[in-house]
Amino acid sequence: MPKKVIIIGAVALGPKVACRLRRIDPDAEITVIDRDELISYGGCGIPYYVGGDIADIEGLYSTTSHAVRDIDFFTNCKGIEVLSGVEATEINRKEKKLLVRHLKNGKKDQFSYDKLVIATGATPVRPPFPGADLPGVFIVSNLHHAKAIKDRISKGQVEKAVVIGAGAIGIEMVEAMTDLWGVETTIIEMADQILPQALGKNISRIVENHLKENGVNLMLSERVIQINGDGKGGLQSVETSNGTIPCDLVVMSAGVKPNTKFAVDSGLAVGRSGGILVDRRMKTTDPDIYAGGDCVELRNLVSGENMTMPLGSLANRQGRIIATNINGGSAHFKGTVGTFCIKVFDMGIAKAGLTSKQAEATGYDPVHSIVTQHDRAHFYPSSKLMYINLIADRKTRRVLGIEAAGLKGDAIKARVDAVAPLLKNNIDVDEISELETGYAPPFASAMDIINNAGNTLDNILENRNIPIDVLDFIEEFKKGKTRVLDVRGPKEAKPFIEKYGDQWINIPQAELRSRIKELPRNEPLCLMCDTGPRSYEAQLLLRSNGISDTKNIQGGYGMLMVTDPEFV
């Protein structure tokens, strides 16, 4: 008897389960149902469609060989039945039957199954402030939304847009609207930084400045109060705790919520983070029902806690595992370390593991190093600065997380991806110092930034390097609580001395040994060089000469420049 498998949801995970299962079980009867007619699309590509990188919406549901992934494609190429416009209404788990409703005519139907797969995804949250449901206020969840937004923009109906929520989708939509279309865009975020789930403030600040450089109006620590219509079917403005922002279009990207109602109604367990509970085989609490993708919760392999992580890459890998297991195999999805990357204008940002804040909340005692370094050998032309934040637990030295930003996205990805797969293995800082990645001058330094991030964190953990974050330094400096010893050359230091007077001391590295006596001995001193290593050496030299109340500005001038362009 061929196995009957029904899959609810035809985007990302659903089709992946279906196609893999067809390949390993040529006889299975595989049916995929979806409410929508548009199926099997790359939802993550929506901002690039809106932004014009992808000209036609078909690009998002075509294969690499330009075949359109519609119902015929699944029938003819894959041998898989897809029923669109069909909504799952109930599972009769005892009799293993799925009840459905055809959306066109309301007709009801039922299918018996041997195995059922729930791939219902997640839906963007629409915060309940007044005006949230006005026309012109969009969420970005499927291709219909994408089309509607791009239609308005490309018809010239949008001069000013507001994006609510500075998570990944919000930021990608901001770039899409600003970059190609020249829409004047404001992004409003409740937290005091962008990407609060992904990054600590040191790296997020770099990205925030890059957004501003690219003309984006960034409003942090700001609450939306209501959205006002213009009374003619359009929008007038967004009102926040601090003012009114005129706009013609609003994109809501305040996070997503797993679509679990159907699972809950069927008596399947849902976890604390709101996703369907699955075991390592991606089985729900019913052994004949699997679930995966944006609607389930996953184990965070660093914090040990469950979380939802709506990401196409995880969905695809889970899909393969579900198919293997339906076919009698035993494949495991162990969880995630939250690896993430994003392009923001010319910048690439990547992270894995926990932020310092998340690490603290989990009960760790996080310590971090920030390293500024070139992405190629420093003598190689076209090298650009990269910024890495590496986080470890003070006592155990376990590496908890890594964040990176820089102008060469693939190079940023290379550094974080080299660490991400190790994070679940409970590695310590020495493994980062010793990380063996590829070296050649056109691609890396002999002591690569990633190794140096480990070395620096080792020095900090050993209390050899007493660091201060640039953000904290700026605060203390502005309050007059510290002076600076700048060990760069006089030319580099000159504008700072002109600006800050005798709060800014300059002794170049080469003269420091002979001029130590010039330094104040009993007051706080922050040490600065280009990127951090020389000021660290200065700190050691000063300490061995009895000057101990010093802090080394992490990432040096390179970090200062991208953290607070007005300071420099």
Site for its own copies in 466-525 (CB under 8 A): 488-489, 509-511, 513
Q: Quick one: 288 or 431, whose CB is closer to its own copies?
A: 431
Binding mask 118-147 for its own copies (x = CB under 8 A): ------------------------------
Q: Evaluate the CA torsion angle 211, 217, 222, 223 in order and state its sign.
A: negative
| Closer CB to its own copies, 237 or 465, in the complex | 465
Among 3, 29, 36, 79, binds its own copies (CB under 8 A): 79
387 is a contact residue toward its own copies (CB under 8 A): no
Active site residue 44: yes
Catalytic entry in 44, 77, 247, 341: 44
- Residue in 164, 162, 173 with CA at minimum distance from that of residue 129: 164
Chain mean position to CA 342? 6
DSSP letter for each residue of 275-292:
SBP--TT-B-SSTTEEE-
Contacts of 96 (CB under 8 A, 6+ apart): 112, 113, 114, 116, 288
Neighbours of 102 (CB within 10 A): 15
Closest CA to 84 of 69, 96, 97, 94: 69
Is residue 451 within the footprint of its own copies (CB under 8 A)? yes
Q: How far is the CB of 336 from its own copies (least distance, A)?
A: 6
439 binds its own copies (CB under 8 A): yes
Rounded-to-integer distance, Cα 409 and Cα 303, Å = 27
Binding status of residue 257 toward its own copies by CB under 8 A: no
Q: How far is the CB of 34 from its own copies (least distance, A)?
A: 18
What three-state secondary structure class fits 149? helix
Among 158, 251, 529, 547, binds its own copies (CB under 8 A): 529
Instruction: Note whether 11 and 37 are within 8 A (CB).
Output: no
Q: Which of 210, 408, 483, 551 binds its own copies (CB under 8 A)?
A: 408
Query: What residues numbered 361-380 form the site for its own copies, per CB under 8 A?
Result: 374-375, 377-380
Measured between alpha carbons, how far is 304 from 311 in angstroms, rounded to an integer?
19
Query: Looking at 109, 151, 410, 518, which residue binds its own copies (CB under 8 A)?
Result: 410
Specify the residue, 191 or 331, whose C-beta has the smaller distance to its own copies: 331
The yes or no reply on residue 342 touching its own copies (CB under 8 A) is yes
For 310, phi then psi, to 5°, come to: -75, 100
Q: Compare residues 291 and 315 and give the one whose CB is closer to its own copies.
A: 315
SS3 63: coil
| Residues 106, 100 contacting (CB under 8 angstroms) | no
Are 195 and 171 contacting, i.e. CB atoms less than 8 angstroms apart?
Answer: yes
If you count DSSP H runs as helices and E runs as strands, how many of each does the chain have, helices first? Answer: 17, 30
List the structure tokens of 492. 């580099």
| Ranges within 16-35 binding its own copies (CB under 8 A) | 16, 23-24, 26-27
Check binding of 299 to its own copies (CB under 8 A): no
How far is the C-alpha of 197 from the C-alpha of 351, rounded, in Å? 10
Residue from the set 95, 133, 436, 498 that interacts with its own copies by CB under 8 A: 436
| φ, ψ of residue 31 in degrees (nearest 5) | -125, 130
In the complex, the smallest distance separating the C-beta of residue 276 from its own copies, rounded to whole angstroms, is 20
Find the binding residues for its own copies in span 311-330 (CB under 8 A).
311-317, 320
Q: Coil, strand, or helix at residue 344?
A: strand
Exactly one of 398, 413, 483, 551 binds its own copies (CB under 8 A); that residue is 413
Q: Hey, which residues between 150 and 179 contact its own copies (CB under 8 A)? A: 168
Whichever of 116 and 341 has its CB closer to its own copies, that residue is 341
Which residues, numbered 52-71, are part of the site for its own copies (CB under 8 A)? 53-54, 59-60, 62-65, 67
Q: Does 345 bind its own copies (CB under 8 A)?
A: no
Q: Does 442 bind its own copies (CB under 8 A)?
A: yes
Single out the residue of 40, 336, 456, 554 in contact with its own copies (rule: CB under 8 A): 336
Structure tokens at 17: 């389960």
- Which residues are catalytic, by number? 44
